[in-house]
Amino acid sequence: MRNLKKNKQRLYYATYSDEIPVYETDEDGKIKYTEVDGELVPIQIGIMAGYNKPVIFYANIARSGGEAEAKEYGFDIGSYQAILSSSDKSLPITETSRVWHEREPQYHEDGSVDGDSADYAVLADKSSLNVKKFLLKKLPRGNE
């Protein structure tokens, strides 16, 4: 079954790009360094997921809930909060992508995409022959 144009909503997706190192900083936001074998090396405190620039697309998104079955698509219905479907088979969305629905994408000070500003993380790809379908998990809102 094809998606009706009137049911499509404006959304953004961002695909995973790579891991970005996170460095310790001082009060001014400058990266702290330590000396190792005579060289100054930034102090790494972790890594975070990096995402490509968000892209606008149009698709049907439906919040799940109230289903009669306890499991759908092999997942407990409490595992995901929305289902995204599109007849555009060229969408490069994968299980590492982020989706913005109610909010606009946000960026870090260095210009990289803030993946945590997304409304949803893609939990699973359940596409069929004619439809791309994704189960989405709601992300926490952070400091709002």
Tens of pLDDT, residue by residue over 28-86, are: 888 999 999 999 999 999 998 899 999 999 999 988 754 545 555 555 556 778 889 99
Q: Which two tokens stand for residue 4?
A: 């009706």
Query: Does 25 map to a domain?
Result: no
Helix, coil or strand: residue 75 = strand
pLDDT, mean of residues 74-102: 85
The per-residue pLDDT for 1 is: 47
The domain containing residue 107 runs over which residues?
A: 5-20+55-138
Strand, helix or coil for residue 115: helix
Domain count within the chain? 1
Q: If you average pLDDT over residues 20-24, what whole number do you get?
A: 88
> Is residue 12 within 8 Å of 136, Cβ to Cβ?
no
pLDDT digits (tens, 9 = 90+) for 4-13: 777 889 999 9
Q: Would residue 130 count as lying in a domain? A: yes
Dump pLDDT digits (tens) for 109-119.
888 899 999 99
- The verdict on residue 112 lying in a domain is yes
In a domain, 28, yes or no: no
Kindly write down the DSSP assignment for every residue of 9-44, as one continuous string: EEEEEE-EEEEEEEE-B-TTSPBPEEEETTEEEE-E
Tell me whether residue 70 is in a domain: yes
pTM of the model: 0.77
pLDDT over 80 (residue 122): yes
The residue count for the chain = 144
Residue 47 lies in a domain: no
Residue 96: inside a domain: yes
